[in-house]
Amino acid sequence: MKIQGFKTYVVGNPPPHFGGPYWIFVKLNTDSNVTGFGEVYAPPFHPTVVESMIADVCERHVIGEDPFKIENLWRQVYSRGYTQRSDLSLMAILSGLETACWDIVGKELNKPIYELLGGRVHEKLRSYTYIYPDGDQADNVYTNPDLAAAKALKYVEQGFTAVKFDPAGPYSAYDPRQLSLEALETAEKFIKTIREAVGSRCDLLFGTHGQMTASGALRLSRRLAPYDPLWFEEPVPPENVQEMAKVARGSSIPIATGERLASKYQFAGLLREQAASILQMNLGRVGGILEAKKIAGMAEAHYCQIAPHLYNGPISGAACIQLDACTPNFLIQESIETWRGFQADLLKKPITWENGYIIPPSEPGLGVELNEAVAAEHPYTGEKLHLEMHPEPI
C-alpha cells in the first residue's frame, strides 16, 4: 500500500465559534482506495499559508510512502531541514498526517486504532466542557459568576461531572504578570459561586492561559484551594518548566498543562521537574496518536494522568477518543459541550456522548468519517488566527 494523494480542508466554524474560528483537516488517499483523515491544530500562521506548508511536507515525505511505517514517517518529518526540535507548526502538520495514517491502518486491518495500541481498557470516557455562553445572553458567563454558576448547573443536569472556566482575565503578549487584587477577587468569587451552585456533584477545573508569574499563581492558588478544584491549568507560560514546578510544589491543587507543548521531549521536561500531575496534550499538535501514547506511558511511570486538550474540531476529538480508550492513566476528556451542532454536521456519524461520558466507537480506524461535502460548503474566509493574544499589557 502506498499513499498517492492528499487534500486539505480549511473549514470555517460558524458562530458561536466554540472550538475556534476554523479547523484544518487533511485527507490522505492510497493506491488501494483506503482513505484517512487527520486534523492540524492551530499553527501560528493564516490557514492559507498552512495549506502550502502541508503540501510541502506531503510532497517531500508522504506521497509514495507506506502508511503503516508511521515511526519512519515521524522521524523523517520531525528531522526535516536539520531541525529535530518540537516546532509547533511542523508538529501540528505532522500530527494531522500521522493521524490520517493511523486511520488508514485501522481501516485496512478492520480495527479501531485503540485495538492496535494495546486494546480498549475504558468502556466509556468521562468528559468535561468549558462553561460556554448561550447564544443570546445579554451578559457573559466569562465575566458574570452568577451566570456562569447557572450555566454550570445546567451542564450538571445534562450529565457532566466536571466543568472548566477561566475568569482570570485576558491573556496578553506581555504575560506573565501579577494579577490585580480585583482580578484575584473575581476569580475567587467565580469558584465560590459555582461550587455553591453545583455542590459535590461536579468537579471544578480552573483554567488559566499562562497569565501569571509563579508567585502570582501561588497567590491565586491560595484563594482557590478552599473550593477543592480538580486542577489549576497552565498557571504560568509553558516555556519555563522550572517556574511551573514552583507552582506545583507550592500549591495543594493539581497542576494541569500541556496544550502548548509538542513531542515526548517537551513532556519529559514536565515530568522530570515534577511540574504537573495532569498532562493535556493536544492530538492535533503533540506529534500524533503514537507520540501521545508514548507520552501517556511516560506519565504512567510517574503516576501522572492524561486529560487531552480539545479546542478544535471533531477529527482531533476522534483521535483523542482512540488514545483515551487504550490508556490506563486516562483521567478525563475535554468536549465541546456534547459534540452536537456543527461538530456533528461535519461527521457522517456523530461522536456518541451519553450522560457525561463519550462512548468509544467500534468502527475501524478513527471510527468517524469527515463529511467532505459539509466541509467544502464551509470554507474559512476570515483573517484571524485560531487564537490571538491581547496585544497590549494588562
Active site residues: 209, 309
144 within 8 A of 178, measured Cβ to Cβ: no
DSSP string, 321-354: HHHHHT-TTB--EEESTTS-THHHHTBSSPPEEE
The letter for the amino acid at 206 is: F
**Closest by CA position to 353, among listed 159, 152, 112, 111:** 159
Please give the grid coordinates belonging to residue 186. 473575581
Distance CA 372, CA 49 (A): 21
Q: Are 307 and 256 in contact (CB under 8 A)?
A: yes
Tell me which amino acid residue 173 is: A
Gyration radius of the chain's alpha carbons: 20
Sheet holding 22-30, edge to edge: 3-12, 22-30, 35-40
Contact 51, 11 (CB under 8 A): no
For 38-106, give the DSSP string: EEE---SS-HHHHHHHHHHHIIIIITTS-TT-HHHHHHHHHTGGG--S--HHHHHHHHHHHHHHHHHHH
**CA–CA distance, 236 with 175 (Å, rounded to integer):** 9
Q: Is 370 helix (H, G, I), strand (E, B) or coil?
A: strand
Asked if residue 365 lies in contact with residue 106, where contact means CB atoms within 8 angstroms, the answer is: yes
